[in-house]
Chains A and B, each alone.
Chain A
Amino acid sequence: MSLPARGLKVKNMASGRGRNQEVILKLGDVWKVYQMGEVKVPALRGVSVEIRRGDFVAIIGASGSGKSTMMNLIGCLDVPTKGSIFLKSKDISKMSESDLSSLRGKTIGFIFQQYNLIPSLSAFENVMLPLEFLEYDDSAAAKKAREILLLLGLGDKMSHRPTQLSGGQQQRVSIARSMVSDPEIILADEPTGALDSVTGKELMNILTKLWKEEGKTIIMVTHDLNLAKYAHTRIELKDGRIINVSQKPLAKILPG
C-alpha cells in the first residue's frame, strides 16, 4: 500500500503477508462530483492510492466522507469525474461498458450492506448468477455454488428465498455469491451494518479467512473502528480526502 499524494507515503512491504505483491488497483487523483440540481457535491477530492494484491484494506471515515463513492469507483460501478483508475493495470476509464461488466464479473466480488440478493431467486440461484454471466458450464457452476454454500454452512438453505433467511444467512449467501467466481478482489461496503454484533463477528471471521487462506484482496468500507482492526491496511477518509493511511504489523493480525 502506498500513497503518493500529499506526501503521505507508506511502505508496503508487509501487505500480502509479507510477499511483495504487485499493485492490483491504483487510483490517481480521483475526483467525484455529484450534480444535485444546481449544486455540485464533491464526494471525492483528489484521491490517490495504490492497493496491492492480497491486502486487507479497511476504508474508514465518518458518514458522508465518501467511502461508498470510492468503493463504487473501485468496483467499476461508476466512473470518476476526473482522475484515473487502473484495475490490474487496465485503465477502466477507457473501457466499454460491456468490457467493464465482464471485468467486474471476473475480478470483483461485491458484498453489500443490504445484501442485495435477488428476492425471486433461491439462495442457490443467487449464488449461481455471477457464473451464469460468465457463461460457466452448468454442472460446473452448480457444483461450485453448492460447494461454497456448504462451506458457509448454508447447505440446508440452498432452495430458500432471501426472505426465508435471517440477516446473517442472507449476508452469507451474498458472500458466497461474491466469491463463487473466484474473483481476486472482494469489495464489502459496510458488510456488517445490518447485522447484530455476534453475526457481524462471524462475518468478519469469514472475510479474514478469505484473506488469509484464499489470498483474496479484501477492501472493506466501514465506519466502525472495531471492524477496521481486522484489516491490515487502514485508509481514513474525511470530506472526500484521504487523511491517513496506516498499516498494522502482520504479526498482530496473523498469528504464526
Chain B
Amino acid sequence: MKLRKCLKHAFDMVVHSKLRSWLTILGIVIGVASVIAIMSIGSGMQEQMSSQLGQLGGDLLTLTAGASRGSRTFGMGGGDRFVFGGGGATAMEEEPVLDRSDVQALKSIPDLALIETEISGQVNVSYLGKAGKVSLTGVDPAVWFRITTLSIAEGRMLDSADQNVIVVGGRLSSQYFGKPLGINQMLTINGNVFRVVGVLDDQSTSIYMPISMAYQVLDDKSVGVYDKITLKVRDEEQLDATINKTENKLRMVRHVTEKTQDFSISSSKQMQQTRSEMMSSMNAFLVAIAAVSLIVGAVGIANTMFTSVLEKTKEIGIMKAVGARNKDIMLIFLLNAVLIGLVGGLLGIAFGIILSASLPALMGEVGMIRGGTLVTLDSIMLAISVSVIIGMLAGLIPAYQASKLRPVDALRYE
C-alpha cells in the first residue's frame, strides 16, 4: 500500500475513535505544553541575561565591604554579588566599611578608568496623596552617567551641578502612584521634596539622586562612607589582572590579608557566567520534569495503541485477507501513533505558547520570569520532533504486534 493511503487509513482510525484519540492526544498536549512553557521561561531568562550582559558591560567591577557576602539572590535583577576570595570571616568589633581612604587608594591604580561611589537604602515616598516605600540610590553625579548601564527614556541623567533633583525608574514614573510622575513633577522623599529630571528606560521603581543629598535623606548613613563603589577598568582584556591589583592595593590600605579580607570585588562578567551555568542546569532540571509528563503521554499512546490493535484485530484479519502485507499493517498503526503524537505536539505547542505568554501575568513578578518568557523556534522544532518520535516509539510494539497477527486468528477474533 502506498504511504499516502496508509496515512489516510491511519487518519481515519484517529478520527473514528474520537474520544480515545483525544484523551491520548490530551496527554501529549499537556506534556508538550509544559515543556514549551518551561523552555520559554528558560529562554526568557537567558535572553534577559544576555541583554544584561551586554548592558552591564564586562568592564565593570563592583566593590563592597564585608567579607563573605555570597550571591544574595538567585533570580535575576536582585543582588549582583559574586565574591572573589571572600573566605574567612574576620572577628571585628566594627562592621567593615568603604570610605574615602579606599577611594584614594583606588585613584592611584592606573588600570581603573572610573570610580563611582554609591549609597542606597529604603525611603518613604509620596506623590499626589499616594505613598509607598522604594529604594533610593545616591550616586556620584559627576561619574554616574558615564559608568551606569541604565539609559534615559525621558529627560536627562544627573549632572555634577545637580542638587535637589532625581532620576526615577520607568515603573515609578508610569504606574506606581496611579498617576504618572513625569519630568519636573515634585516627589516627596522622607519629607524632602525633589524634582524629577529624568525617567529611566526600565521597569524599576528606583530613585537616583546625587550622593550628597542622599546622605541627608538616608539618615542612617554617615558622610564619607559608601555602600558600594563601581569601577570601570581601562582594559577589559586585563580584567583579572586589574581585579588582582585592586585587591592587593585595598588589602594594603585596609591592613588585611587574603584570609582576613573584609571587602569583595565582583565582576559582572564572571557573575553572569556563573549565573548562566546555574541557569542552564536549573533549566535542564525543569525540562527533565516536563519530560516526565511527556513520557506519561507516550505511555498513554502505547496504551491506546494496544487497545486499538486488540479492538481492530478482526479488521486486521480482513485487511490481510484482501491483500495487506505485514508492513502495510505495521505502517498504518505506526502512522496512527505518529499522528496522535503530532496532533498532540501541535496542540501542545499552541497551548504552550499561550501558557508561556500568560505565565508572567499568572505568576506575577516572580524573579525567575521577570524578564518575560520567550518561545523559541528551537523549542517548537524540538517539541514537534519529540512528539513525533514519542508517537513512533510508543506505537512501535503495538504496530509490530498488529502486523504479526495471523490472518486466520485475526478473522476468528470477535
Q: Report which A residues bind B (CB closer than 8 A).
A: 72, 75, 77-78, 97-98, 101-102, 104-106, 110, 112, 116-118, 120-121, 129-130, 132-135, 177, 181
CB contacts under 8 Å to A, within B292-329, are 314-315, 317-328
B12–A120 CB distance below 8 A:
yes
Indicate whether A116 sits within 8 Å of B326 (C-beta atoms), given known contacts A78-B406, A135-B2: no
Q: Please, how many angstroms separate the alpha-carbon atoms of A110 and B410 in the complex?
A: 15
B317 contact set on A, CB distance < 8 A: 116
Closest to B328 in A: A133
B16–A133 CB distance below 8 A:
no
Q: Please, how many angstroms separate the alpha-carbon atoms of A139 and B339 in the complex?
A: 26
CB distance from B252 to the nearest CB of A (A): 86
A132–B411 CB distance below 8 A:
no
A98 contact set on B, CB distance < 8 A: 325-327
B326–A101 CB distance below 8 A:
yes
Closest to B318 in A: A116
B321–A77 CB distance below 8 A:
yes
Indicate whether A72 sits within 8 Å of B408 (C-beta atoms), given known contacts A116-B318, A132-B5, A135-B1: yes
**Which of the residues B2, B323, B324, B407 comes within 8 Å of A106, measured between beta carbons?**
B323
B321 contact set on A, CB distance < 8 A: 75, 77, 104, 110, 116
Indicate whether A77 sits within 8 Å of B322 (C-beta atoms), given known contacts A132-B1, A135-B1, A135-B2: no
CB contacts under 8 Å to A, within B365-414, are 406-408, 411
Q: Please, how many angstroms separate the alpha-carbon atoms of A72 and B406 in the complex?
A: 11
B325–A101 CB distance below 8 A:
yes
B314 contact set on A, CB distance < 8 A: 116
CB distance from B314 to the nearest CB of A (A): 7
| 4 closest residue pairs by CB, A with B | A105-B323, A133-B323, A78-B408, A98-B325
CB distance from B77 to the nearest CB of A (A): 57
B324–A133 CB distance below 8 A:
yes
B323 contact set on A, CB distance < 8 A: 101-102, 104-106, 130, 133-134, 181
* Of listed B321, B325, B407, B411, residue having the most chain A CB within 10 A: B321
Closest to A127 in B: B322
Q: Please, how many angstroms separate the alpha-carbon atoms of A120 and B314 in the complex?
A: 13
Q: Please, how many angstroms separate the alpha-carbon atoms of A121 and B11 in the complex?
A: 12
Q: Please, how many angstroms separate the alpha-carbon atoms of A57 and B292 in the complex?
A: 61
Query: How many pairs of A and B residues are in contact by the CB < 8 Å rule?
Result: 67
B2–A132 CB distance below 8 A:
yes
Q: Please, how many angstroms separate the alpha-carbon atoms of A104 and B406 in the complex?
A: 14
Q: Can you name 16 extra interface pairs (CB under 8 A) apart from A98-B327, A105-B324, A133-B328?
A: A77-B320, A77-B408, A78-B406, A78-B408, A97-B325, A98-B325, A101-B324, A102-B323, A104-B323, A105-B323, A112-B411, A116-B314, A116-B411, A117-B318, A120-B12, A133-B1
A110–B322 CB distance below 8 A:
yes
CB contacts under 8 Å to A, within B256-276, are none
Indicate whether A133 sits within 8 Å of B318 (C-beta atoms), given known contacts A77-B411, A120-B16, A121-B12: no
Q: Please, how many angstroms separate the alpha-carbon atoms of A69 and B323 in the complex?
A: 19
- Interface pairs (10), CB distance under 8 Å: A75-B321, A77-B406, A77-B408, A77-B411, A98-B325, A102-B323, A105-B322, A110-B322, A132-B1, A134-B323
CB distance from A179 to the nearest CB of B (A): 11
Q: Please, how many angstroms separate the alpha-carbon atoms of A101 and B408 in the complex?
A: 13
CB distance from A161 to the nearest CB of B (A): 10
Q: Please, how many angstroms separate the alpha-carbon atoms of A184 and B317 in the complex?
A: 21
* Of listed A72, A105, A135, residue having the most chain B CB within 10 A: A105
Q: Please, how many angstroms separate the alpha-carbon atoms of A97 and B408 in the complex?
A: 13
Q: Please, how many angstroms separate the alpha-carbon atoms of A106 and B323 in the complex?
A: 7
B322–A102 CB distance below 8 A:
no
A134 contact set on B, CB distance < 8 A: 323
For B160-184 the 0/1 string (1 means CB < 8 A from A) is: 0000000000000000000000000
CB distance from A222 to the nearest CB of B (A): 18
* Of listed A106, A117, A120, A135, residue having the most chain B CB within 10 A: A120
